[in-house]
Amino acid sequence: MPGSPKKRTEPQRTRPRIRARRENGQVAPFLSRDPTAIGEALKRLAAGDSVRAIADDLGVTHQAIRVLLLDEVPDEYRVFQRRSLIARIVEADQQLEEAATPIAIVRARELCRFARWDAERRLPHMFGQQTRIEVGVAPDLADALRRARERERVIESEPAQPALPATRPE
């Protein structure tokens, strides 16, 4: 029929683990708020594992891990966020240095721009633009004129010194 939307015949692409959970009825897998599990996640983050790798091992989404860590241990997680943003900038810079083809250079340059832009937004105190305002106090012109007039009055009021006789060498 004209005007009716076409149905998609190809299956939608999803990750196998998510597809398996949906088929088993596990739409939202349980994420433990056990302090030992949180401690283990923090240890793995400290060891350099990504949040996505931890989430895959636990069978949950990386968003669930991030929400759990922000809810339970926000200060520690923010330290890891800061470190990962800095690591992303360093990695992007390294890719730019190692880029050999024009396409690789453009791709690496865009990665560098995005990494810095993201860090600017998330860590403005470290990577944001710094505005420095200096306020200097300069002498006021009116004060300078007033002091000059006072000096004139003082000079006028002092008795004149007798002039020394001029001697001419003979």
Give the pLDDT score at 125.
Answer: 86
pLDDT at 13: 55
Beta-carbon contacts of residue 98 (< 8 Å; ≥ 6 apart): 108
Cα–Cα distances (Å) from 22 to 10, 12, 19, 105, in that order, read 18, 13, 5, 41
* pTM (2 d.p.): 0.53
Q: Are 60 and 18 contacting, i.e. CB atoms less than 8 angstroms apart?
A: no
CB 119 within 8 A of CB 126: yes
pLDDT in tens, the chain (170 residues): 455 555 545 445 556 666 665 565 444 555 667 777 788 888 888 888 888 888 888 777 888 888 888 888 889 888 888 988 999 999 999 999 999 999 999 999 999 999 999 999 988 888 888 888 887 777 677 888 888 888 877 666 666 566 566 666 65
Q: What is the dihedral of CA 49, 51, 56, 62, to 10 degrees?
A: 180
CA-wise closest residue to 108 among 127, 121, 94: 94
